[in-house]
Structures are given as C-alpha cells and as structure tokens.
Amino acid sequence: MLKVPDHQVAGHMAGAGALGPLVDDAGNFFKPLQSNERGAKEVAFYKGFSTETRIPYKIRKFFPVFRGTRDLEASDGSGLHPHLVLEDIVSSRTNPSIIDVKIGSSTWYPEASEQYITKCLKRDRDGTSLILGFKICGFQFYGNKETGFWKPDRKSVNAFTHDDVRSALRKFVSSNSPSDSDAEPDCSYASTVYGGPDGIVSQLLKLKSWFEDQTIYHFYSCSTMMVYDKESIMKGENPNPQIKLVDFAHVVEGKGIIDHNFLGGFCSLIKFLNDVLNNPNK
Amino acid sequence: MLKVPDHQVAGHMAGAGALGPLVDDAGNFFKPLQSNERGAKEVAFYKGFSTETRIPYKIRKFFPVFRGTRDLEASDGSGLHPHLVLEDIVSSRTNPSIIDVKIGSSTWYPEASEQYITKCLKRDRDGTSLILGFKICGFQFYGNKETGFWKPDRKSVNAFTHDDVRSALRKFVSSNSPSDSDAEPDCSYASTVYGGPDGIVSQLLKLKSWFEDQTIYHFYSCSTMMVYDKESIMKGENPNPQIKLVDFAHVVEGKGIIDHNFLGGFCSLIKFLNDVLNNPNK
C-alpha cells in the first residue's frame, strides 16, 4: 500500500538504498525521522504545535496536519524505522505544479555550533538565501499532457541565480512550456494563481501578519510549498492555489522575539510575486 | 559659532584630538567625512537620495535634510576637513530624550571582504543584532531638572542583553527616574510617545510599508533615532515624538530586491514597542 510519492520536489527522496518519505492512498505522508537529533526535534515541534492553543485556526491551516508517528518498513530496506505521519498535501491533486522555497537569509540559528554555522553560512552565501532572503529548493512545473512536468535536477536548482529565481517564479504561472528556455514566460495565470482573495499572495500575507506578532517559534531552514493545478485552469476550473509550511527539524524557541529572519525573507518572496503580478509582461 | 553637539548619543564624538560632528545655531549638523571610502559613500548616498524622484514625500521626511558638503576646521584641530551639512534633528529641542537603534541582524553586506564580514559577524553575535535584529547604540533619557539625563557610557550599552534592551525601551517612556535601576519603569508615557496616530509606532509603520516595497537601497548598519521631549509632557504639551534614519556609510544598491535584513529587524523593533504599549504594567 505504501509507495514513493509522485510529487516530491525537494528533500531526501526514497529509492534503492535511500531513506525517503512514503505515501499511502488514504492521504498520509510518512516522513522518516532523520537519524540525528533532527528527527526528534521535528517530532517535538509537531507534537507541541498540535496542542499549542495560541495558534489561530486561520494560521494552523498553513501547516500539514500531524497524525502522530509510526514504525514502518523503511524505503531503503533497512527494516522498521520511525516515521512522522502527516497529511499528504498533494494527494488530492492529479498533476500539481509545485515549488518549494526555503525561507530566511540565514539557515543557522545563533546557538548552533561553530562548525554548523560555518557550513550553513557558506551555503547561504553560495545560493540565493543571503541575497534574496529565500532559496528555491526544488519544483515541478506542469506543461501539458505531451510534455508532462519540467523538473530540473537538484544541482541545477541549487545553482540558481537571482535572475533564475525571478524567471522560475514567472514560469510557475505561465501557460507556455516551462522547459523551453527560449520561450518568454507569458505569466497568463499570475492573476489567478498569485492574485485574488484566495490566491497565493493573499495567503502569504495572512501568514506574514502572524509572523509580525508571533514570538513562540523561530523557523530556521523551513520551506513554503506553493501548489496549484494548471490542468484545472485549462478546463476553466479553480486551480486551488495553496501554500503550506513544511520542514521543522530546525525550529527553535522564539523567546519573546519575532522570527525576523523568516519574516524578512518572506516579505522578499512576497515582493517577487507582486512584481510578477504587477508586470506580467515584464 | 561651531560647537560640539549637546545631544549626541552614538557615533564618533568630537573632543580633544577626536574628530566628530559639530553644530551651529542655525540648525546645521556638520558630520566630518570618514577618511576611508565610507565618507565618500555617505556623500554619494545623500546626493543620490536628495535627487531620487522615487522617494515619496511622506518617506523623505524620515531622513535628515541634506545641505551639501563644506570644508570646515575639524574638531580634532587637524585643520580643514570636508563635512556633510545636514539638518540638526534636535536643534529645536531643549532636553530631548533620544535613543539610537541600529537596524538589521547583519551589519555586513554580501559583497564585503571576508575580513570585514568576519569582524562584523563577531560583533553582531556578541551584541543583540543577530538575536533581536537590532541593537541599541546609545541613548540619553531625560529625568528631570535635578537628575538631568541618564546616559550610560558606550561600553555598558554595547554589553546590553535582550532584557536590558526591553528594559531600556520601557524606561525611555517612563516618568520615574531612568537611572534608578531599582525603580520599575512605569511606562506612563508609552501611549503618548509610542502610541497614537502621530506616535513613534505609527511613524515606524509608515517606513515599514515603504521597506516592503522599495528595492532601491539596502541600508546596512543604519540607525533609527527616536526622539521626544519629556518636559513637554510634564507641562501638558505635545512631546513631538519623531523618528529619523541616520548613518548611510554602508548603503548599497538594492538591485531589485527589498532590504529584508533591515525590514526584519525593523519589524522586531516595532514588536518590542508594541509589547510596551500593550503591557505598560508588564
């Protein structure tokens, strides 16, 4: 019953000898606990968050539903392994376009070890995190029945520059072929996907308001997933644009201070999307 | 006619053998150009900013008026030295309470030299910049005619912890003696100084909106000065709370990206002030 997810765009992927998440057909997403303390930290976050009474309902819906932990046969064939049981946020979709954006100019927290800080700082400077306040970690953009998805390998995405990021955020909402590097993205779907009262920017702004005030958590190295169905637009139906925060292995206590690292990067992402909305034709 | 300013709370101070700013009685503030490239960079910023047509009037008023440059006898007795001629933002006040807050978790810019980055990163981690997204660089809090000002030396302010910062932002708007460490700050003036349509938070929010959109400049190592007149409140008059951005020797081009480092820290400062407003009695 368990299988490798069809629509994973970033993170460890299950495969021959590789530990990665699994899904079932009941809408569950099983994420193997990472073997170091990160796995335990992510479980602790989900447990705490699910019973945290200070989280408004309108904010809670931007997080995957947590359904506990379960020991399952690991995808790498190593035997039983503990997994987080989460809501599979794309199980109800057929050919979703997905982009995973890691938020924050800094992926390390002040209390981390010198070695960890040095490693992260180098990566944040090599990628776009430091410059833009966020980094695209992976994506799949649906083209059409013939072309299927455009899903560049991790290495190419990791090498994205400022211009590549801007271009990807335009291609995400364009009707023309996302994999054709000569085609100027037309941003035909920007107003439907990014704009409007139920669009992605509106959802991001709701989360932003919460981040301006909440001092419970600092979300280091956390991603915002943005998802919609291009096929639905082609059929004249609602593409159901949606955002979810994922990856909480590096959440630390807020201690009465807002998460200004996350918030700054989040505002930068919102500005990029507003630029697409306001200049669909460049 | 030129003299050392009465109300400087941070930065290089003029004195015997020390180069620092001077003021005249016509409301001019003369800031000596720093000898390395910083002086030239700050002049370039003011010149560019003063003719930049994309700055709305309601934002421009948060910056000191620029009146050119002038060669003046330096305060350290070294002879003629070029100075920026700026509006003296406190010349019309008698006993202003002032606080200088450097904004941003990072005071270094990605393009800086390795040596400069290492030096700044250490300082940002040693102080509160990295943790809070801002740092108090100096202040003077007026007590009353007998006690005068509370103005701790730079070394004590540099050693401020998170709790010290929270306490200082309460003392800034309290009626009881700011220098008495046993007296619990009463925050009597919080609603008058931080709150209301013309208060400091309202002004900060106007600037924040601009920072969510502007991609012209990145303001590294720039300060927000907050000023008001406690004596006016005692007399039942308007204390005229005011904010100004100062110190632009490390401004770099925005290149189409918002200043998420400044914005994140700015939002953190706003949250601290809102905490005082919402919990005047702790």
The alpha carbons of chain A give a radius of gyration, in whole angstroms, of 18
pLDDT (0 to 100) of residue B281: 85
**A282 pLDDT higher than 80:** no
Please state, in angstroms and rounded to a whole number, the distance separating the CA atoms of residues B173 and A261: 28
Q: Which residues of B touch A106 (CB under 8 A)?
A: 105-106
**A208 pLDDT higher than 90:** yes
pLDDT band, very low/low/confident/very high, at A11 (cuts 50, 70, 90): confident
Nearest in space to A260 (alpha carbons), one of A220, A206, A202, A224 = A220
pLDDT (0 to 100) of residue B36: 83
Please state, in angstroms and rounded to a whole number, the distance separating the CA atoms of residues B226 and B141: 11
* Residue of A109, A260, A273 best to disrupt the B interface, most CBs of B under 10 A: A260
Q: What single DSSP character describes residue B127? A: S
pLDDT (0 to 100) of residue A124: 95
Per the prediction, chain A carries an average pLDDT of 94
CA-based nearest residue in chain A for residue B118: A118
Q: What single DSSP character describes residue B280? A: T
Pairing state between β B22-23 and A251-253: unpaired
B15 vs B215, more confident: B215
Mean per-residue pLDDT, A113-125: 93
Interface of B to A at Cβ within 8 Å reads 105-106, 110, 125, 130-133, 162, 212-213, 215, 255-258, 260-261, 263-265, 267-268, 270-271, 275
C-beta separation of A140 from A9 below 8 A: yes
Q: What single DSSP character describes residue B78? A: S
Mean per-residue pLDDT, B228-256: 95
**What was the ipTM of the complex prediction?**
0.96
Nearest in space to A98 (alpha carbons), one of A31, A4, A11 = A11
Mean per-residue pLDDT, B106-134: 94
pLDDT (0 to 100) of residue A21: 95
Stated as kind and residue range, the H or E segment containing A98 is strand A96-103
pLDDT (0 to 100) of residue A194: 98
pLDDT (0 to 100) of residue A61: 96
Percent of chain A scored above 70 by pLDDT? 100
Nearest in space to A179 (alpha carbons), one of A228, A139, A221, A137 = A139
Please state, in angstroms and rounded to a whole number, the distance separating the CA atoms of residues A225 and A136: 10
Range in A80-84, A91-95, A220-224, B259-263 with the lowest mean pLDDT: A91-95
Mean per-residue pLDDT, A102-128: 94
pLDDT (0 to 100) of residue A281: 85
CA-based nearest residue in chain A for residue B211: A267
Q: Which residues of B touch A131 (CB under 8 A)?
A: 110, 257
Look up residue A212 and give its amino acid: E
Which residue's entry shows tokens 């035997």?
A: A79
pLDDT band, very low/low/confident/very high, at A177 (cuts 50, 70, 90): confident
**B46 pLDDT higher than 90:** yes
A25: Cα within 13 Å, side-chain hemisphere = 1
Distance of residue A269 Cα from the nearest chain B Cα, in angstroms = 9
pTM of the complete model: 0.96
pLDDT (0 to 100) of residue B55: 97
Percent of chain B scored above 90 by pLDDT? 83
Mean per-residue pLDDT, B120-142: 96
**B181 pLDDT higher than 80:** no
B25-35 residue pLDDT tens = 999 999 999 88
Range in A16-30, B84-98, B171-185 with the lowest mean pLDDT: B171-185
B244-277 residue pLDDT tens = 999 999 999 999 999 999 999 999 999 999 999 9
**B176 pLDDT higher than 90:** no
Nearest in space to A258 (alpha carbons), one of B261, B264, B170 = B264
**A181 pLDDT higher than 80:** no
Give, in order, the Cα–Cα distances in Å from B77 to each of A155, A281, B19, B34, B73: 59, 59, 8, 15, 7
pLDDT (0 to 100) of residue B196: 95
Mean per-residue pLDDT, A43-68: 97
C-beta separation of A97 from A131 below 8 A: no
Per the prediction, chain B carries an average pLDDT of 94
Contact (CB<8Å) B260/A264:
yes
CA-based nearest residue in chain A for residue B270: A212
Q: Please classify residue A255 by burial: count the beta carbons closer than 10 Å to its beta carbon, then call 0-12 exposed, 13-18 middle and 19+ buried.
A: exposed
Contact (CB<8Å) B258/A271:
yes
Please state, in angstroms and rounded to a whole number, the distance separating the CA atoms of residues A225 and A242: 8
Please state, in angstroms and rounded to a whole number, the distance separating the CA atoms of residues B238 and B53: 33
**A182 pLDDT higher than 90:** no
Q: Which residues of B touch A258 (CB under 8 A)?
A: 133, 267-268, 271
CB-nearest to B263 from A106, A215, A264 is A264
Percent of chain A scored above 90 by pLDDT? 83
Nearest in space to A32 (alpha carbons), one of A78, A83, A85 = A83
pLDDT (0 to 100) of residue A72: 95
**B179 pLDDT higher than 80:** no
pLDDT band, very low/low/confident/very high, at A130 (cuts 50, 70, 90): very high
For residue B47, which phi and psi values (nearest 5 degrees)?
Answer: -65, -50
Strand, helix or coil for residue B31: strand
Q: Which residues of B touch A104 (CB under 8 A)?
A: none
Range in A195-209, A215-229, B7-21, B252-266 with the lowest mean pLDDT: B7-21
